[in-house]
């Protein structure tokens, strides 16, 4: 065996390191113009900071964030010493004029959230609206966002999607909202908390039909996991195996997620244990909103397979 390192056409790690250091150094040396910088930060993995995000925060005069203690950890990881000030849903009204004063004084102001892209189910919209109205530059430094990360791994159509944020916590309001979402001809992307996930998935299955869906959990983190199944099965799995951590629900558009034979057979197996073929087919067809004839044929085939 040769004691030479194996030859490879991949760039060597040190060459990559050199290029990355060169690019970061170049970014750090550029003058940062005054304005409001909306900087995306990791949704879990600290290495998901872009070079522009690092260079922008390093050169900012002030960084506004939701939780100064939380964001200090991120900034310390990259040895960034910009002063941190809180801007969150409870102090935004009183802080906004201060941020606008900073901008009027020609400062380079960054806005970050606890995770991901600021303004996406996070504070900042009114600040951006007022800053642009006063003629200040507003610049996006794009990067991670849980909504897009979940959409990309879901395995569902991506040509048109609707980001619905969080569903209402109260059952009545949630069902009303789901009835509105049922009409939208696009993949749905929904944030949800672990405490409500089983109830929300069950309500989604009832209100949208048993569409294909995905539950993307703890993306970019140690326990990252994606469950892909029709809504009713996902709801059931959240009862038997309650998921922890941060999660996003992605639901296929109406009509495009043909209920698969496998999910019909899954429901039939339970129904046939106590009902005749005809009744089981009727119950399953009604609950999955698929034609009875199709379910009846699958039930017959299932029975035949069982008898073989
Ligand atoms: N602005 C953030 C973004 O762009 O990703 C979203 C903020 S919102 C307040 C927080 C929600 O995002 C969580 O409740 C969860 O639904 C989702 N989320 C955040 N990090 C996540 C992760 N690593 N994996 C899955 N979902 C995540």
Atom 8 in ligand 1: residue holding the nearest Cα = 121
* CATH, range 31-144: 3.40.1010.10
Domain ranges of the chain: 31-144, 147-251, 261-307
200 lines ligand 1 (CB under 6 A): no
121 lines ligand 1 (CB under 6 A): yes
117 lines ligand 1 (CB under 6 A): yes
Which atom of ligand 1 is nearest the CA belonging to 119?
Answer: 1
188 lines ligand 1 (CB under 6 A): no
218 lines ligand 1 (CB under 6 A): yes
Dist. CA 108 → ligand 1 center (Å): 27
Superfamily for domain range 147-251: Tetrapyrrole methylase, C-terminal domain (3.30.950.10)
Strand partners, 216: 226, 248
263 lines ligand 1 (CB under 6 A): no
Dist. CA 34 → ligand 1 center (Å): 29
Dist. CA 63 → ligand 1 center (Å): 20
111 lines ligand 1 (CB under 6 A): no
**Which residue among 46, 66, 67, 121 is best mutated to probe the pocket of ligand 1, counting the most ligand atoms within 8 A of its Cβ?**
121
Dist. CA 149 → ligand 1 center (Å): 10
Convert the chain into a string of H (helix), E (strand) and C (coil).
CCCCCCCCCCCCHHHHHHHHHHHHHHHHHCCCCCEEEEECECCCCHHHCCHHHHHHHHHCCEEEECCHHHHHHHHHHCCCCCCEEECCCCCHHHHHHHHHHHHHCCCEEEECCCCECCCCCCCCHHHHHHHHHCCCCEEEECCCCHHHHHHHHHCCCCCCEEEEEECCCCHHHHHHHHHHHCCCCCEEEEEECCCCHHHHHHHHHHHHCCCEEEEEECCCCCCCEEEEEEHHHHHHHHHHCCCCCCEEEEECCCCCCCCCHHHHHHHHHHHHCCCCHHHHHHHHHHHHCCCHHHHHHHHHHHHHHHHC
Which atom of ligand 1 is nearest the CA belonging to 40?
Answer: 4
Provide the residue-wise pLDDT of the chain in tens; the chain has 308 residues.
444 545 556 768 899 999 999 999 999 999 999 999 999 999 999 999 999 999 999 999 999 999 999 999 999 999 999 999 999 999 999 999 999 999 999 999 999 999 999 999 999 999 999 999 999 999 999 999 999 999 999 999 999 999 999 999 999 999 999 999 998 999 999 999 999 999 999 999 999 999 999 999 999 999 999 999 999 999 999 999 999 999 999 999 998 455 677 778 888 888 999 999 999 999 888 877 778 888 999 999 998 888 87
């Amino acid at each position: 065996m040769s004691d030479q390192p194996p030859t490879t056409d991949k760039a060597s790690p040190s060459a990559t390191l050199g290029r990355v250091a060169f690019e970061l150094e170049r970014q750090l040396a550029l003058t940062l113009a005054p304005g409001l910088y909306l900087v995306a930060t990791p949704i879990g993995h600290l290495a998901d900071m872009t070079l522009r995000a690092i260079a922008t925060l390093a050169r900012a005069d002030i960084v506004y964030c939701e939780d100064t203690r939380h964001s200090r950890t991120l900034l310390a990881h990259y040895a960034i010493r910009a002063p941190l000030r809180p801007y969150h849903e409870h102090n935004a009204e009183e802080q906004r004029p201060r941020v606008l004063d900073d901008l009027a004084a020609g400062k380079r102001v960054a806005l970050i959230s606890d995770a991901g892209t600021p303004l996406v189910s996070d504070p900042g919209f009114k600040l951006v609206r007022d800053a642009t109205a006063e003629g200040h530059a507003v610049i996006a430094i794009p990067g991670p966002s849980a909504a897009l990360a979940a959409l990309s791994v879901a395995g569902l159509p991506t040509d048109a999607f609707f980001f619905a944020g969080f569903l209402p916590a109260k059952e009545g309001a949630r069902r009303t909202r789901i009835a509105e979402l049922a009409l939208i001809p696009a993949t749905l992307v929904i944030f949800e908390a672990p405490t409500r996930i089983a109830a929300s998935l069950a309500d989604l299955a009832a209100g949208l039909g048993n569409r294909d869906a995905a539950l993307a959990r703890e993306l970019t983190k140690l326990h990252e996991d994606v469950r892909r199944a029709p809504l009713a099965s996902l709801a059931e799995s959240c009862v038997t195996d309650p998921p922890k951590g941060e999660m996003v629900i992605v639901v296929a558009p109406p009509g495009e997620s043909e209920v698969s034979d496998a999910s019909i057979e899954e429901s039939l197996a339970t129904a046939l244990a106590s009902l005749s073929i005809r009744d089981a087919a009727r119950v399953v067809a009604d609950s999955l909103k698929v034609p009875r004839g199709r379910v009846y044929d699958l039930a017959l085939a299932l029975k035949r397979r069982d008898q073989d």
